[in-house]
Amino acid sequence: MKQRYFAEIAYDGTAYHGWQYQPNAITVQEKLTTTLGKILNAPDFKVQGCGRTDTGVHASQFFLHFDADLNMTIEKLIFVSNQILKKDIVIKRVFPVGEKMHARYSATARRYHYYFGTELNPFDRLYVSYFKQPVNIEKMQEACKVLFEYKDFTSFSRSNTDTKTNDCTIMDAKWYQEDGKIIFTIKANRFLRNMVRAIVGTMLEVGEGKLTIDQFREVIEKKDRSAAGKSVSGHSLFLSEVHYKEGIIPNV
């Protein structure tokens, strides 16, 4: 009899065209489905992720679920999987959950981090964007407060998506500096496609003095993607936390 399992993973998205299946492009979901399906000898094996990440975007925490009748211990499944997977995808743990638990729909919130380097660093090149123009972090922090005034973030969503609503509840958003980097973090109950990258790109225009706070507010109110700034590169974006109701995810 099949049991539903959650798996916590982390991945470097550099070599992948995002999480979700795409025709003629390698994705994290495809890689995990193929690997786990072979190990478990399950040709119809499927995995469901906690969300989507775009091309090149990373995840330091990501959850997926799958249904399986394991023919080995969980420890062996994790070990064998990590031996087969490239080193840019790691399964951290696997644990049983109730049959109604869903990696995506049971999640209550997610957090992202975006990283900018103020100085060129060869060791950061794959994960940190270099932004040579001076920016006013205080102004960008002020723009963060504006996000809490709204629910509809159509202006920061990729056009022609299949979502039923563009409403999101922002729980936290802030800019800060750490170890020579400028970092943006945002937490919400859900995110639209391209949303974080579009928000960051628009806030940088505030930081450069190209947009005032009132104009930033107007961008949101227009509900038009063309009104917002350019999306920043995905290689500096990390899905860093996924939250569920207490008791679903066991303590490490």
Active site residues: 54
What does DSSP assign to residue 50? S
What residues form DSSP beta bridges with 4?
67
Whole-number Å distance between alpha carbons of 115 and 57: 12
User: Are 50 and 103 within 8 A, CB to CB?
Assistant: yes
What does DSSP assign to residue 233? P
User: Are 228 and 216 within 8 A, CB to CB?
Assistant: no
Among 89, 94, 92, smallest CA distance to 68 is for 94
43: left (phi over 0), alpha (psi -120 to 50) or beta: alpha
Rounded to 5 degrees, what are φ and ψ at 62?
-150, 140
User: Are 192 and 163 within 8 A, CB to CB?
Assistant: yes
- Residue spans of beta strands (DSSP E) within 88-236: 89-96, 107-117, 129-130, 170-178, 181-188
